[in-house]
Amino acid sequence: MTQPILQFGTSRFLQAHVALFVSQALERGDALGGISVVQTTSNPASEARIAALNRQGSYPVMIRGRQDGEIVDKVIQCRAVQAAWIAERDWATIRDAAIHDVRVIVSNTGDAGYRLDERDSATLLAQPEQVPRSFPAKLLALLHARWSARPDSGVTLLPCELVTRNADTLRDLVIGLAKDWQQPAPLLDYLSQQCIWVNSLVDRIVSEPLQPVGAVAEPYALWAIERRKGMELPCLHEDIVVTDDLRSYEQQKLFFLNLGHTWLADQWLAQGRSATETVADAMNDAALRESLEAVWTQEVLPVFDAMGLRERAEAYVASVRERFLNPYLDHRLSDIAGNHVEKVRRRIVPLIELADSMAVASTPNLLRDLVARHGVAMPQRTVNAR
């Protein structure tokens, strides 16, 4: 018998996040069941990982960092993965599982995961032995097979890609592909109504892989899931939050963690600091630490206070502070500084715009000064707001 959870992707992130959550929940009887994973790319490293997953029955996740003021350094064996497949090799098995046993589909397919491939066409649905090239086409082919066999049995889809409103985006791609391929209205209704597409946000730093399978991760973890009527969760877990306000969790991560990284990278660039300096090094530099704390407390936290989320934001920034001080994480500022101006535009400008929209005053305007130094354009209303 195959498993109720189908996972697209075998990345170290999924190994130390979704699969680990399910493994821990299985021990308590709080999971739907085990996971079948699908590797969508074919290369020697991924094939070795699939072989190890099928051979070992479990793999180690090293949890290393700081939590609640204490150093954490432990190993957890993840036992959730019960089958591991390669799409090109095992498509018939994957298709059969999708028809009969799968209840939840999760994914983390990387930056190119939602990219379509013009070589995919409607002939795939008539010739099920053919393997689609793109992930959206693979998903459409599997859901088409499910609908053909069980038209009243939808699934819950929980994408974990770092795409804003990831499930809505993926749903629109899959349904758009079905329309382009001139599929019948009942299939379109099945995709939009029987299947439950659930936006989610994942937050955990998984710093390195273990060979042939396994990962090193920080103690902090969050899977924020937007509440949708009729959805099934793969498991219950203390680090899963079901919310009606996913946007505020996205903003929390963007404006404390991501913005914090960009602030430190900007200081690193401006001061011409060591090429080997890490986030932890910067946090142990009194001047850099003081400047970041000023940004968090004087310019970011007041925005969340105005949103009525001060208590949650204070707890989150405390966790981010510990994550930045993680002595086991070699997170170099030189890496964070890549594509810096675009990161300023994505991570800092929206906070200033949000503050202006709620008339939140901020001093000493460290973030506005940073934006101005880089010549990043802002709406006229925001530029004039002081």
Percent of the chain with pLDDT over 70: 98
pLDDT confidence bin for 45, thresholds 50/70/90 = confident
- Banded model confidence at residue 379, pLDDT cuts 50, 70, 90: low
Q: Check if the beta carbon of residue 91 is closer than 8 Å to that of residue 129.
A: yes
Share the mean pLDDT of the chain: 94
Query: Which of 23-27, 287-291, 358-362 bottoms out in mean pLDDT, i.e. has the lowest?
Result: 358-362
Q: What sign for the dihedral angle of Cα 168, 170, 171, 175?
A: positive
Predicted pLDDT at 44: 82
Task: Copy the structure tokens of residue 310.
Answer: 């001060």
Strands 59-67 and 215-217: parallel
Instruction: Indicate the pLDDT class of residue 14, thresholds 50, 70 and 90.
Output: very high
Phi-psi domain of 121 (left: phi exceeds 0; alpha: psi -120 through 50; beta: other): beta
The per-residue DSSP string of 20-37 comes to HHHHHHHHHT-BS--EEE
What the block records as the tokens of 18 is 């979704």
- Per-residue pLDDT of 172-182, as tens digits, reads 999 999 999 99
Distance CA 158, CA 272 (A): 42
Q: Across residues 353-372, what is the average pLDDT? A: 90
Domain regions of the chain by residue span = 5-243, 246-384
With CA atoms as reference, report the closest residue to 210 among 53, 89, 371, 18: 53
HEC profile for 133-185?
CCHHHHHHHHHHHHHHHCCCCCCEEEECCCCCCHHHHHHHHHHHHHHHCCCCH
Nearest CA-CA partner of 20 in 214, 169, 297 = 214
Distance in angstroms (rounded) separating the CA atoms of residues 312 and 83: 38
93: pLDDT strictly greater than 80: yes
302 Cβ neighbours under 8 A, 6+ residues apart: 355, 360, 361, 362
Q: What are the φ/ψ torsions at residue 76 (nearest 5 degrees)?
A: -115, 135
Length in residues, the chain: 386
Q: 3-state DSSP call for residue 257?
A: helix
- Strands (E) located in 33-141: 35-39, 59-67, 70-78, 81-86, 104-107
What are residue 76's DSSP bridge partners?
61
Class of domain 246-384: mainly alpha
Average pLDDT over residues 257-286: 97
- Mean pLDDT within 372-377: 91
List, for residues 306-357, the tens digit of each pLDDT value: 999 999 999 999 999 999 999 999 999 999 999 999 999 999 999 999 999 9
pLDDT bucket at 1, cuts 50 / 70 / 90:
low
What's the pLDDT at 385? Answer: 36
Residue position matching structure tokens 């029987």: 194
User: Is the per-residue pLDDT at 257 higher than 60?
Assistant: yes
The radius of gyration of the chain's CA atoms, rounded to the nearest angstrom, is 22
pLDDT at 66 over 80: yes
pLDDT category at 383 given cuts 50, 70, 90 is very low
Res 384: pLDDT: 35
- CATH for the stretch 5-243: 3.40.50.720
Cis peptide before 364 (omega within 30 of 0): yes
8 Å CB contact between 239 and 49? no
Identity of the amino acid at 366: L
Question: pTM, whole model, 2 decimals?
Answer: 0.93
The widest CA-to-CA distance across the chain, in whole angstroms, is: 64
